[in-house]
């Protein structure tokens, strides 16, 4: 059973300038007591060609968490455009919101992101060098891709085996 259940995510300040922070209002419930914090991460996929261009924009620890309902806002700086191949600055990419418990990911929420110029003329005739101040980022929040993973929550300590006989004694056969 999952101890944390995400009940909703709202993308705030959307659409926005490419340079604006990404903001997510996350609602979740804790269904059973857990002993450690949970960690929320925001990752921007810089290129579909290679993970080397992925940028972890922020990581936030939340806790302590008791049984109940919660709502938090996670705000992450915009991606660093110098770490994105120029040909991938415009077009469609992905932003991933993930949550971990004890360094194990238990939920991943992916959103397509459309980056395009704010002016139809620039869209039709883009300059050779991307003018980031004119790029609008739109997180397509209507159809998130949600993936859940099983993780070991707070497992009870394994029971220690009982010692029936000492090394020098023989156990009776029955």
Residue-number span of the structural domain to which 43 is assigned: 4-148
In a domain, 113, yes or no: yes
Cut 0.75: pTM above it = yes
In a domain, 157, yes or no: no
In a domain, 37, yes or no: yes
pLDDT, tens only, 84-123: 999 999 999 999 999 999 999 999 999 999 999 999 999 9
pLDDT, tens only, 149-160: 999 998 654 554
Return the closest-CA partner of residue 135 out of 76, 73, 93, 74. 93
In a domain, 111, yes or no: yes
Instruction: Specify the CATH number for the domain of residue 115.
Output: 2.60.40.1490
In a domain, 168, yes or no: no
Distance CA 97, CA 109 (A): 5
In a domain, 153, yes or no: no
Q: Residue 142 in contact with residue 25, Cβ under 8 Å?
A: no
């Amino acid at each position: 059973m999952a101890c944390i259940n995400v009940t909703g995510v709202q993308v705030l300040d959307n659409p926005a300038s490419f340079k604006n922070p990404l903001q997510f209002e996350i609602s979740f419930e804790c269904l059973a007591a857990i002993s450690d914090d949970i960690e929320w991460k925001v990752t921007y996929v810089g290129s579909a060609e290679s993970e080397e261009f992925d940028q972890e924009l922020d990581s936030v620890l939340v806790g302590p968490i008791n049984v109940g309902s919660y709502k938090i806002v996670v705000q992450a700086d915009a991606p660093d455009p110098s770490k994105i191949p120029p040909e991938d600055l415009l077009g469609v990419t992905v932003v991933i919101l993930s949550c971990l418990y004890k360094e194990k990911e238990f939920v991943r929420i992916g959103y397509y992101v459309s980056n395009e110029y704010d002016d139809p003329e620039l869209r039709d005739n883009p300059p050779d060098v991307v003018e980031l101040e004119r790029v609008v980022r739109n997180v397509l929040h209507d159809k998130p891709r949600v993936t859940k993973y099983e993780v070991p929550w707070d497992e009870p300590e394994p029971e220690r085996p009982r010692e029936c006989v000492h090394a020098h004694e023989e156990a009776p056969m029955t």
